[in-house]
Amino acid sequence: MSDSLVRSLEAILSPGQVLCNERARMDAYTVDVWLMARRDLYPPRVRPVAVLPDDTAEVARVMRWCHDAGVPVRIRGAGAGDTGGALPRRDGEVIVDTRRLRTRALAERDQVATVGVGWILLTVEEWLRRRAYTLGHLPASISCSSVGGFLANAGSGILSTRYGKLAENVVSLVVVLPDGEVLRTPRVRAHAMGPDLNSLFLGSEGIYGVVTEADLRLHRLTPLRLMALSFPSFGAGIAWGRRVTQLGLAPALIRLYDEEESRGLVAEGSDCIAVVGVDGVEAIARAEVACLRDEAQAAGARLLPDAVASDWYGRRMAPYFPPNSMESRDVLHGVVDFVARYTDIEACLAAVREELAGSYPELHVSAHCSHWLSYGTMAYLSFWSPVLPRGQALWTAYYSILERIFAGIRRHGALMNEHHGVGVKLRPFFARQYEESGVVTVLERLKQALDPRGLINAGNILEPGAAPPGAAEEARDDAG
């Protein structure tokens, strides 16, 4: 990192908005939640420089200068991701820290909020709830992740069955392109005046530009009515979820656990537990609860005490934070989520378990389904092993497990990664997942048009760079 780089950035912003020498603060930019980052296996040791712009205009000035000077840029939200996508890879890489992008306004007649991407999502949700609104987006990381992170990674929350992903509630965006030009998408999204450009940037993890502000559709805040059901099998629970969504019922929450995860929810014996939540207009919600209960009983489920559902809701975040999280334990662990049609979901789960059982008998594997569509659902697969390799052996073991999971998913046409993002963690699987579909070709051509030198968020999704030389290939060979 050169002094001239720092001086140039200070001239664009101010000395107080450029960070490079404060060791503790700079070290924080080189870690996220991903196991490989916390075990110091990624990223390589580099010396980046961070800038903290206050608004879209300052982001545009930084991006324009970096584009003209050929300086690589890394976009960062709150740093709570688990894919390595926000971590710097090169000395002198400029980290655009978006935490100060905190515009906020409410258009009540339109039921739309204008929100800067630097806000922590919980802060926005609390602000809205004081006004009887909600985003309908309640992920486990709501207290530590930014609005921008959820938009960039197409994140989902527990109420997505009714409200969809946060990205699906975007009305319009403000985006700074790699060359510093500012794009403002139309104030209405439902139009036929050409393609919907919002979709180009949502879920693209910053490779096409920096989202700085979003207009988000809001929902009226109403009570969430909870119930817990016990199904005789995971398959029976999935069949019930398929039926109720295809009937047009719209519960906000359906969280269906397999046998292993269900054992941790109730003291008494149970099969596969589903926690269900319904909100909306009271009369409609009451009728919907009755329909859901009737359909569940017809599927062989039994109603559990109300305390099961309320206790789950009250401590639903606990497994993701210390001292209960896997990140707090000295074990090999990870999560992979995938989405499939109802025709394929059970076969995918069985294939993944078969792949893992043959090679890793010591591996604990469990799953739940939490985001439901009329044509399919997603499975959130967790794995952990008490055997924790060290150094490069950990990387190889981790990717060997992912290879096995990918093989099982791919066998039945499912799509790896429903809501966590690709980053560098899943980069070795991205192009292989889309083989012969033409998807990668289109995305690469868009990248070439918008960022021909590949300066912004290099290594995410499209560019190589996830694994050290040979590591992913070695893991694939071990798995195959």
Per residue in 373-410, pLDDT tens? 999 999 999 999 998 999 999 999 999 999 999 999 99
pLDDT in tens, 97-124: 999 999 999 999 999 999 999 999 999 9
CA-to-CA dists, residue 474 to 107, 109, 230, 404, angstroms: 54, 57, 43, 13
Dihedral sign computed on CA atoms, order 170, 172, 178, 180 = negative
Block residue for tokens 């190889």: 396
Q: What is the mean pLDDT of residues 347-365?
A: 94
At residue 199 the predicted structure's pLDDT band, cuts being 50, 70 and 90, is: very high
pLDDT in tens, 434-455: 988 899 999 999 999 999 999 9
The pLDDT value recorded for residue 269 is 62
**Does the pLDDT of residue 141 top 70, yes or no?**
yes
DSSP-assigned letter for residue 279? -
- For 172, list phi and psi in degrees, rounded to 5: -155, 165
Q: How many residues does the chain have?
A: 480
Confidence of residue 476 (pLDDT cuts 50, 70, 90): very low
Give percent of the chain above pLDDT 90.
84
Task: Please list, in sequence order, all residues whose beta carbon lies within 8 angstroms of the beta carbon of residue 339, skipping any fewer than 6 positions away.
Answer: 371, 376, 377, 378, 379, 414, 415, 418
- Report the 10 Å Cβ neighbour count for 239: 16
Q: What is the DSSP letter of 305?
A: P
Handedness of CA 317, 323, 327, 329 (dihedral sign): negative
How much is the average pLDDT of 204-216? Answer: 97
Lowest mean pLDDT of 19-33, 54-68, 293-307, 401-415, name the range: 19-33
Residue 478 has pLDDT above 50, yes or no: no
- Beta-strand (E) ranges in 354-472? 364-369, 376-385, 415-416
Phi, psi of 89 (to 5 degrees): -120, -15
Which domains, from first to last, does the chain contain? 3-97 (3.30.43.10), 104-220 (3.30.465.10), 225-316 (3.30.70.3450), 326-479 (3.30.300.330)
* Per-residue CA distances from 20 to 15, 80, 96, 472 (Å): 10, 21, 12, 32
* Residue 238: pLDDT over 90: yes
pLDDT of amino acid 323: 85
Residue whose token pair is 């909100």? 279
Residue given tokens 């050169």 in the structure block: 2
Instruction: Give the separation between CA 251 and CA 372, rounded to whole angstroms.
Output: 10
pLDDT in tens, 330-348: 999 999 999 999 999 999 9
pLDDT in tens, 45-80: 889 999 999 999 999 999 999 999 999 999 999 999
